[in-house]
């Protein structure tokens, strides 16, 4: 009898747990795979007005009321919209004025929009649409196929202040992209975005791109391995001066050339450059193994041209943050790359010298380390070759634009040949 009562009690508890699990799954839904957030921002009077559009299905942990047929009950959901706007739009958006975070924004309006609505094509259309009444239940809207629009007003001190923003919408979906329009410019941002200035000054743009270049070189494993290949044979700063200078000069030239739209814009070009970077690592590692590094500065220069295009791909994605200071951003990014390169060499050179002195003979150590680098580079080369094979090569059409680009490259290589001839002549004299 006691056993039967215990079984009944545990059976009741089990049913309660199962019921709660079923209820929680009914009230919540998974985050959508891809979410695009659209934002228009503009200074209006003493406020910065921000209009945002997100998919309603990105708003989770909400039991949306429904009418017959499973359609969204707009009448019953209307009182919840302000609270949802605060949690999912206002709270994740941080606005800074002259370096200080502004007060919390005021929620001005909310709206439910059908999937085919095009009002967010401009600030004026979006603002007008947000003033319209909510759609009626008779329109039979399904909650997974509508947008949630929100109008916010941030209090500001002056329209001439320096504004920066951090839209943190990563929690809306598995993959989130934010499209932000401000003062005639469009920013394409990932879901998790650091704070950035909407209208950067010259100093802000320079500092921002110095940091980008510095971080890029330290996070680029392939670029670091190529630098290591230059260090391995002779880890002495004096012997590396000409080699590193040649590498720096070369990648600076192609970085600037790519920024001036002198690089092909075909889809196959970036994977080709990535493949050639892997080839450069394998080539230099094998040269170290077989002891054929007598002209390392020339190899460093040749492969530096390739690495410069690799740097330019990272820069191309970041130029949207330069504002009106494109030249300053370009030069600052290059400075950041050089500073990161020097920081890496400051660690590599003493470390290799200590290993050769206390652990292993220099020649044997050069072979062992270069073999490890060559192994890694070889795998990268095979992987990147497979990626490149997915693209079909199409030669660019010959027109005035391509003719101008070709002329620029001819002049570029003529200047390059003259510089190399001058360096070689100086070396022969010494």
Three-state SS for 81-133 is HHHHHHHHHHCCEEEEECCEECCCCEEEEEEEEECCCCHHHCHHHHHHHHHCC
307 and 273 part of one domain: yes
Q: Is residue 338 part of a domain?
A: yes
Read off the tokens for 59. 């708003």
216 and 92 part of one domain: no
Q: Is residue 294 part of a domain?
A: yes
194 and 299 part of one domain: no
Euclidean distance between CA atoms 132 and 23, whole angstroms: 35
Q: Is residue 332 part of a domain?
A: yes
185 and 65 part of one domain: yes
Helix (H, G, I), strand (E, B), or coil: what is residue 167?
A: strand
Could you tell me if 233 and 296 are in contact, meaning their C-beta atoms sit under 8 angstroms apart? yes
| pLDDT attached to residue 181 | 95
177 membership: H or E segment, kind and range: strand 175-182
Q: Is residue 414 part of a domain?
A: no
**Domain range enclosing 310:** 203-394
Q: Maximum distance among all alpha carbons in the chain? A: 108
Q: Looking at 138, 172, 199, which one is the last position of a domain? A: 199
Residue 276 has pLDDT above 90, yes or no: yes
| CA separation, residue 107 to residues 82, 91, 152, 271, 376 (Å) | 7, 11, 5, 46, 54
**Residue linked to tokens 């390059």:** 416
Euclidean distance between CA atoms 200 and 198, whole angstroms: 6
Taking the model in full, what pTM does it have?
0.74
pLDDT category at 27 given cuts 50, 70, 90 is: very low
Could you tell me if 145 and 55 are in contact, meaning their C-beta atoms sit under 8 angstroms apart? no
Q: Is residue 14 part of a domain?
A: no
Total domains present in the chain:
2
| Chain segment 350-390, per-residue pLDDT in tens | 999 999 999 989 889 999 999 999 999 999 999 999 999 99
Q: Looking at 169, 199, 229, which one is the last position of a domain? A: 199
| CA separation, residue 1 to residues 6, 10, 11, 13, 14 (Å) | 9, 14, 15, 19, 20
Q: Looking at 145, 169, 199, which one is the last position of a domain? A: 199
Read off the tokens for 129. 């649409």
Q: Is residue 19 part of a domain?
A: no
**Residue linked to tokens 């919390």:** 104
pLDDT category at 85 given cuts 50, 70, 90 is: very high
176 and 247 part of one domain: no
Selected residue with higher pLDDT from 39 and 70 = 39
Of 34-43, 190-199, 205-214, 344-353, the one with minimum mean pLDDT is 190-199
Q: Is residue 400 part of a domain?
A: no
Write b or e for each residue in 114-129: b if 16 or more Cβ atoms lie within 10 A of its Cβ, otherwise e: eeebebbeebeebbeb
142 and 269 part of one domain: no
373 and 279 part of one domain: yes
Read off the tokens for 196. 């950035």
76 and 115 part of one domain: yes
Span 209-214, mean pLDDT? Answer: 92
């Amino acid at each position: 009898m006691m056993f039967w009562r215990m079984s009944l009690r545990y059976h009741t508890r089990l049913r309660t747990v199962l019921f709660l699990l079923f209820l929680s799954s009914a009230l919540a839904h998974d985050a959508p795979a891809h979410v695009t957030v659209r934002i228009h921002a503009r200074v209006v009077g003493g406020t910065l007005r921000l209009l945002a559009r997100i998919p309603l299905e990105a708003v989770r942990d909400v039991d949306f009321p429904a009418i017959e047929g499973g359609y969204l009950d707009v009448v019953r959901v209307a009182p919840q919209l302000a609270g949802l706007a605060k949690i999912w739009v206002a709270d994740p958006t941080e606005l800074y004025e002259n370096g200080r975070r502004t007060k919390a924004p005021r929620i001005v309006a909310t709206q439910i929009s059908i999937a085919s609505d095009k009002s967010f094509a401009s600030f004026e259309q979006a603002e007008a649409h947000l003033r319209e009444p909510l759609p009626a239940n008779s329109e039979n809207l399904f909650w997974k196929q509508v947008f949630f629009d929100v109008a916010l007003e941030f209090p500001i001190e002056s329209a001439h202040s320096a504004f920066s923003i951090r839209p943190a919408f990563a929690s809306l979906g598995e993959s989130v992209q934010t499209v932000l329009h401000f003062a005639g410019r469009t920013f394409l941002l990932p879901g998790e975005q650091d704070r950035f200035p909407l209208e950067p000054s010259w100093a802000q743009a320079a500092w921002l791109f110095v940091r980008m270049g510095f971080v890029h070189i330290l996070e680029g494993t392939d670029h670091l391995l190529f630098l290591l290949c230059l260090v391995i044979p002779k880890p002495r700063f004096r012997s590396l001066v000409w080699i590193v200078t040649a590498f720096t000069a070369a990648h600076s030239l192609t970085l600037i050339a790519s920024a001036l739209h002198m690089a092909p814009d075909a889809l196959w070009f970036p994977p080709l450059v990535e493949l050639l970077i892997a080839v450069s690592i394998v080539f230099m590692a094998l040269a170290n193994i077989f002891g054929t590094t007598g002209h390392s500065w020339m190899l460093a220069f040749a492969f530096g041209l390739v690495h410069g295009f690799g740097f330019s791909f990272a820069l191309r994605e970041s130029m949207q943050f330069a504002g009106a200071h494109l030249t300053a951003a370009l030069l600052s990014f290059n400075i950041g790359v050089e500073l990161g390169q020097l920081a890496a060499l400051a660690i590599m050179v003493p470390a290799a010298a200590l290993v050769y002195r206390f652990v292993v003979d220099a020649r044997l150590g050069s072979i062992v380390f270069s073999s490890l680098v060559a192994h890694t580079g070889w795998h990268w080369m095979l992987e990147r070759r497979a990626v490149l094979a997915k693209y079909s090569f199409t030669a660019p059409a010959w027109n005035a634009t391509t003719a101008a680009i070709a002329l620029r490259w001819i002049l570029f290589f003529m200047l390059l040949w003259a510089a190399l001839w001058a360096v070689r002549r100086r070396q022969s004299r010494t």
